[in-house]
Structure 1
Amino acid sequence: MKISIDNETKLIETMLEAYGVESKEAKIVAEVVVDGDLKGFSTHGLGRFPQYIKSIKAGTIKTDGDYEIEKESASSAMINGNHKFGHYVTVKAMDLAVKKASETGVGIVGIHDSNHYGIAGYYADLASIQDMIGIVISNTEPAMAAFGGKKALLGTNPITISIPSDDIDNYICLDMATSITARGKLLESKRKGEPIPEGMALDKDGNPTTDPAEGLEGSILPFGGFKGYGLAFMFELLAGPLVSAACGEKVEGTATPDVMCTKGDLLIVINPEFFGGSMQFKFYVDQFVREIREENGVIPGDREVQNISTNYENGIEVDEALYEQLTEMAQEKGLDITSYFDE
């Protein structure tokens, strides 16, 4: 079955508000979740939404209170998310980073005690649409073994970089995990009862596996061997101890809704106007993109643009297991959501 983008937005907002989430937060969560599905990141779209409801019920996502700025300088800040929705906290943090970059050239904001926030690209885009460079680094609970090891000690630790452009046809954004795939891919395959491709994960004994459950208990492999592992290692520290968040085995709650989330995020915004100049930067960005396209090259972000067009027109596929989860959670609050879906 399918759900249209408009209905997905309404579904998320309605369910969240029924579970006690303020309207201003529910709208942000819906925007980010839908953005993930539109861009083709189904593992971080509606498929991840039941995790958020479980977290609300477990009390690991707080529906009361608010985030707070613990430290602040002209170009930096430290935010305590106070276990609010990661989507809401990270939007507010990026807004602050953009404001600081507009005034000083660079804005850097660290976040701790937040929650899973969906796709990182959404937040980096908040900078690029204002003619600035957005960079987002995060760590997650362990899913990847150290290079040469068997035990998962590092997260899938994503990085996103979004670049501004003057060409309306250019969307330039790299949004990637440092593992071969995001943990959400294994969670999605487990929910659907499908195997994962070979060469993606190891079981707890260090043997290759195509069983997503075994991969979740074992270790997802880094992309590019040692290079991917090396980046994951560095991001573990930049998004962990630097921002007063956990790292390694102490990171919890990004995929387990019954425990408080201890991961961290580092947001960096660079204002080209304070360097070579915004107009000059975008001129050379677009020139370089044209050179790549003339050679039939692909730009980071091209796939997302194509997915947005397709998914907005056709709607989002919803598997039976996800539909049943959503229906059951809605019924707990007396909601009937069947009309949101098409056969």
Structure 2
Amino acid sequence: MIRSASWLRSAIRATAMAAGVGPGAAEAMADVMTEAHLRGVETHGIRRLGPYVRRVRAGGVDPGARPRVEAHGPLLLVDGCNGVGHLVGTVTADAVAAAAARHGVAVAWARNSNHFGFAGYYATRIASRGHVALVSSNGQVCVAPPGSGMPVLSNDPLAIAAPMGGDGFFELDMALSETSRARVVEAARRGEPIPPGWAVDRGGRPTRDPSKALAGALAPFGGPKGFALLLSVEMLTGVLGGGRYADQVVSKESSPDQGEGCVHLMLAIDVARVMPLEHFQERLQDMIRRFREVPTAGGAPARYPGQRRWELRRRRLAEGVPLDPGEVRELEDLARALGADLPPLDGAGPESQPSTT
């Protein structure tokens, strides 16, 4: 099933607003979730809209909250006020980008927030202002220490982005677990086994059964070294950010009537303070060219972070976004139940207006 990005964005925004989400927060949700589909991150697309709406209607998220930004020179503290995570993330990204333009470098912590989608969106949003960006967040626990089946940490995403010139970005965006929990949930929904090494059962034993994995924990990527990195990122987000950390973060699934208390970390470096932006982009592209020229066993050159996402985005803006029919039906049913007016079907047409980053 193919829909244009503009149809998808309008449908998400209309449904969120019908659920009581304020216009600014609904716009932020629509932008982040649409970009997830454009870049092939479907785990953070419309399948999450229903759970987001349920948390709003259960009182776990304040749909009208507006984040408050407190500036201390290049250091920003943002109170998310238990608002929609996508809006908290967007406000924080724009604030830290503006602060970096003034000071050369800036860092922000947003606390008292909720799930904000995929971290790469905010990293490239900052990078589009001519900055190098780093973004991370903590969240619902799902990762256990090596040898254990008891989750104590989130799989804190780590995103690093830089402007390459044109409409593409260097975009690293990875969870610090072997996979995302959403992919395990999807495997369980389909009744399919998961690959070896992704997860462990409640007793800490490796499992390929997604149901046992959901009752147990995800494995940290890279074994003990990966878990050490995950601990370090949790220190930089939840602990240093002054919000909830580790298993203090509220589960958005088991306690939908409570705020999660997530902490987002965003760092921006103004490239122009280091060297001319065009010179940086030339150096970045030269670095990429050098490793892509190295022979590989398969013959295809190695990809750089973000290459697939932005090639896919260009194609989907032109040809339309492929959507799971079942997920579209769930969106339509949710909109109907809320009394939302969805935009007319437009098929697979080109996107007239590029979406924001």
Is the shorter-chain TM-score for this pair beyond 0.5, marking a shared fold?
yes
* Whole-Å separation in 2 of the counterparts to 1:263 and 1:146: 21
Q: Which runs of 5+ in 1 are unaligned?
A: none
Amino acid at match of 1:46: I
- The two structures have a TM-score, normalised by structure 2, of 0.88
1:72 deviation in Å?
2.2
Q: CA deviation at 1:79?
A: 0.8
Rounded to whole Å, the distance in 2 between the matches of 1:232 and 1:15 is: 35
Which residue pairs with 2:323 in the alignment?
317
1:102 paired residue number: 101
Residue 18 of structure 1 aligns to which amino acid in structure 2? Answer: A
Q: Are the structure 2 counterparts of residues 72 and 314 from structure 1 closer, same or farther at C-alpha, using a change threshold of 3 Å?
A: closer
Q: Give the TM-score of the pair, scaled to structure 1.
A: 0.91
Instruction: State the shift of 1:48 in Å.
Output: 1.5
Query: Are residues 155 and 123 of structure 1, via their aligned partners in 2, closer, same or farther at CA, if it must alter by over 3 Å?
Result: same
Partner SS for 2:121: helix
One of 226, 229, 251 as aligned partner of 2:227: 229
Change (3 A) 1:265 1:301: same
1:8 counterpart letter in structure 2:
L
1:181 corresponds in structure 2 to 179
Gaps of 5+ in 2: 295-300, 349-357
Coordinate RMSD, CA, aligned? 2.2
Q: 1:194: which partner in 2?
A: 192
Q: 1:339: Cα distance to partner? A: 5.9
3-state SS in 1 of match to 2:20: coil
1:327 Cα deviation after fit: 3.6
Pair 1:52 & 2:52 matched: yes
Alpha-carbon distance in structure 2 between the residues aligned to 1:125 and 1:254: 26
For residues 146-193 of structure 1, give each alpha carbon's deviation from its aligned partner in whole angstroms, at most 9, with x where no partner exists: 123221111111100001223x27521100001011122122333444
- The residue correspondences of 1:233-244 to structure 2 (distance < 5 A) are 233-244=231-242
CA contact (8 A) 1:12 1:30 kept: yes
Check whether the contact 2:96–2:106 (CA below 8 A) recurs between aligned residues.
Answer: yes
The answer to whether the Cα contact below 8 Å between 2:33 and 2:45 also exists between their aligned partners in 1 is yes
SS class of match (1:144): coil
* 2-structure distance, mates of 1:331, 1:214: 35
Kindly tell me: are residues 42 and 216 of structure 1, through their superposed partners in 2, closer, same or farther at Cα, counting changes over 3 Å?
same
For 1:148, what is the secondary structure of its paired residue? Answer: coil
Structure-2 change in CA distance of 1:175 and 1:7 (3 Å): same
Call closer, same or farther: CA 1:172–1:192 in 2, change over 3 Å: same
The answer to whether the 8 Å contact 1:162/1:173 transfers is yes
SS in 2 for 1:146: coil
1:222-276 Cα shifts (integer Å, max 9, x gaps): 1111222111111111110211221111112455534311221110001122234
State yes or no: 1:262 paired with 2:251.
Answer: no
Q: Distance in 2 between matches of 1:173 and 1:108?
A: 19
Q: How does 1:245-256 map to 2 (within 5 A)?
A: 245-256=243-254
Is the aligned partner of 1:63 residue 2:63? Answer: yes
* Residue type of the alignment partner of 1:308: R
Structure 1 outlier segments of 4+, above 6 Å: none
Tell me, yes or no, if the aligned pair for 1:172 and 1:301 is still in contact at 8 Å.
yes
CA contact (8 A) 1:159 1:176 kept: yes
Query: Aligned equivalents of 1:2 and 1:83: distance in 2?
Result: 35
- Whether contact under 8 Å (2:168, 2:310) holds in the other structure is no
| 1:297 match | 302
**Does the 8 Å contact 2:39/2:309 carry over to 1?**
yes
User: What is the aligned residue count?
Assistant: 340
Counterpart secondary structure, 2:338:
coil
Q: How does 1:144-155 map to 2 (within 5 A)?
A: 144-155=143-154
Residue 23 (structure 1) aligns with: 23
Q: Distance in 2 between matches of 1:289 and 1:317?
A: 32
